[in-house]
A and B are shown apart, each in its own frame.
Chain A
């Protein structure tokens, strides 16, 4: 190597002496077992780091053109997306990179969890990693708000409302989030500084600590069923293992490079093909026809907020994330020893499986949003519903649409999913029962329409619903 570089290499080598510092770290020994295919499980931390660097680079680029003021941010984003050379690609990389960060951090943690690598003596690796997860979520959320469109504006309001549920300090936190008494001129710069300086500073610090610990404590050996962690013997056993180890660079690092390359390639291809997400309507608080949704990885949490029972909301909005994080953070202190292999830890498999199923289900429900009434605009009844109606029933069908019944009820496969399907309601309810339900509403789910219907309108609507019978 130095032979190729010649005198310059020798000069540099004498000045920097990388052999016992940088190169020594790069070549630190890792367990020889990582040369087997099992080593491919160890790549996700490096891939996360690679995508993080992508985020830093594209983020700096975006910050060169983004104007973090409420009267200009939307226009500057349109400039970046539509006019600036390669602007939509850079924004796209930053967007897909954000999703990749969230996914990769979680995949990395899941792998570490299932391999039992968080146990002694690597508890602090895990704890610093769980703080990095928190910082990643913070970046993902604040980043979505910098996409200063209508969704971002209302997401800030929703964020303030959520933190306001915290006991004692809720009101203060809400003001802190929006940097004042209302979402206004001071709010966007607050989020900008948080996204660009505050959380990244924490990220860099935590990342330094995390990498220091990875090298200092060494990469965990692949778990073997029946081999329990015993703090009295583990360190000596691991030292012995490393004595027969392989250098991280390049024997193990090439796999990290392969997966990192594929991850970044996927991000760039998505950015070029799909591009950055379209900006929504401008962040104008007076446009109240809105349908605010977070980015896809937070949709499951958004769904949770819709389905938690009344009365438990403040407890769940504040308590659930806090408890979940504290549990994650403290996990290695709760289970520092014992079996590492997943075949001896059925609870670990159950936890991961349950987590995936629950959050996956919440995500699907979140995209469907069955609790949200359909927009009134542009709705129309299926033609099968309108066939063969007498004049009163026909009027009832019009009322069903106009009075927003259709927003929450399905008829012949079309309509809102919030309330029950009414395609066959005529067979199940008498006219009197129908009228009573429409007038009085039902148990906090269905509003009373007593003030919204004249007696004739009610009679027509009941006649129409009474004719809904599957033949």
Chain B
């Protein structure tokens, strides 16, 4: 038989735990829900085809299709577009600017035909394969399509070693 004091002690602990659950559940849901949102899955225009010369690799900007109103500059991101042919399924390669080592932005050196990362010295060939340095894999590529004379690129979450779409 439980005595009165032990019973009151358990009631106190249970009610305190109840307070934690009552407040904790909505807070955790609020904080974690955005993380489980579906992968963005739309195509955004990044360039007119006439601005992309065959044989060249060009920096283009992609806009977040539905940014938060206060996102400011972070609503835009950059991509490297390599145009291989005038048309066809392999006319383009679209690369994320993020180095696959730790995400710093790679720069294209047209004369050397190399992508170079400023952080830890990762180097990639024009087709995105690793030419040297610490990157564990080629540059991440994006799905693309051509519509009405424009190049459209599929939106994507931040690509990491653990979380890759492509």
Contact of A70 among B71, B77, B123 (CB under 8 A): B71
By the criterion CB–CB under 8 Å, are A372 and B64 in contact?
no
By the criterion CB–CB under 8 Å, are B97 and A305 in contact?
no
B84 at the interface (CB under 8 A from A): no
A142 at the interface (CB under 8 A from B): no
By the criterion CB–CB under 8 Å, are A170 and B73 in contact?
no
A285 at the interface (CB under 8 A from B): yes
By the criterion CB–CB under 8 Å, are B73 and A452 in contact?
no
With the chains together, A449 CA to B123 CA distance in Å?
12
Shortest CB–CB separation between residue B46 and chain A, in angstroms?
Answer: 11
| Residues of A contacting B20 in the complex (Cβ-Cβ under 8 angstroms) | none
Shortest CB–CB separation between residue B39 and chain A, in angstroms?
Answer: 7
B22 at the interface (CB under 8 A from A): no
A164-B160, A441-B132, A444-B132 known; A452+B113 contact, CB < 8 A: yes
Q: Tally A residues with Cβ within 8 Å of B.
A: 69
Contact of B158 among A71, A157, A176, A286 (CB under 8 A): A157
Shortest CB–CB separation between residue A115 and chain B, in angstroms?
Answer: 38
User: In chain A, what residue has the closest Cβ to B75?
Assistant: A184
By the criterion CB–CB under 8 Å, are A403 and B111 in contact?
yes
Interface residues as binary, B46-82 with A (CB distance below 8 Å gives 1, 0 otherwise): 0000000000000101001001111111111110000
Q: Which of B1-9, B11-19, B98-106, B143-151 lines the interface with chain A?
A: B98-106
Interface residues as binary, A271-313 with B (CB distance below 8 Å gives 1, 0 otherwise): 0000000000011111111111000000000100110101101
| Residues of B contacting A166 in the complex (Cβ-Cβ under 8 angstroms) | 162
B25 at the interface (CB under 8 A from A): no
By the criterion CB–CB under 8 Å, are B136 and A373 in contact?
no
Interface residues as binary, B90-120 with A (CB distance below 8 Å gives 1, 0 otherwise): 0000000110011111110101111010111
Interface residues as binary, B119-158 with A (CB distance below 8 Å gives 1, 0 otherwise): 1110101100001111010000000000000000000011
By the criterion CB–CB under 8 Å, are A70 and B35 in contact?
no
With the chains together, A183 CA to B118 CA distance in Å?
20
By the criterion CB–CB under 8 Å, are B112 and A403 in contact?
yes
User: In chain A, what residue has the closest Cβ to B37?
Assistant: A181
User: In chain A, what residue has the closest Cβ to B100?
Assistant: A161
By the criterion CB–CB under 8 Å, are A158 and B102 in contact?
yes
By the criterion CB–CB under 8 Å, are B111 and A402 in contact?
yes
A241 at the interface (CB under 8 A from B): no
| Residues of A contacting B118 in the complex (Cβ-Cβ under 8 angstroms) | 290-292, 372, 375
A407 at the interface (CB under 8 A from B): yes
Shortest CB–CB separation between residue A291 and chain B, in angstroms?
Answer: 5
By the criterion CB–CB under 8 Å, are A181 and B157 in contact?
yes
By the criterion CB–CB under 8 Å, are A157 and B98 in contact?
yes
A314 at the interface (CB under 8 A from B): yes
User: In chain A, what residue has the closest Cβ to B162?
Assistant: A170
| Residues of B contacting A310 in the complex (Cβ-Cβ under 8 angstroms) | 134, 136
Contact of A404 among B40, B70, B114, B134 (CB under 8 A): B114
By the criterion CB–CB under 8 Å, are B125 and A447 in contact?
yes
| Residues of B contacting A176 in the complex (Cβ-Cβ under 8 angstroms) | 32, 35
Q: Other than the known A72-B70, A161-B102, A451-B113, what 19 A-B pairs have Cβ atoms closer than 8 Å?
A: A69-B72, A157-B102, A158-B103, A170-B161, A170-B163, A175-B157, A180-B37, A182-B158, A185-B72, A185-B74, A186-B68, A285-B74, A285-B77, A286-B77, A288-B97, A292-B104, A375-B118, A449-B113, A452-B114
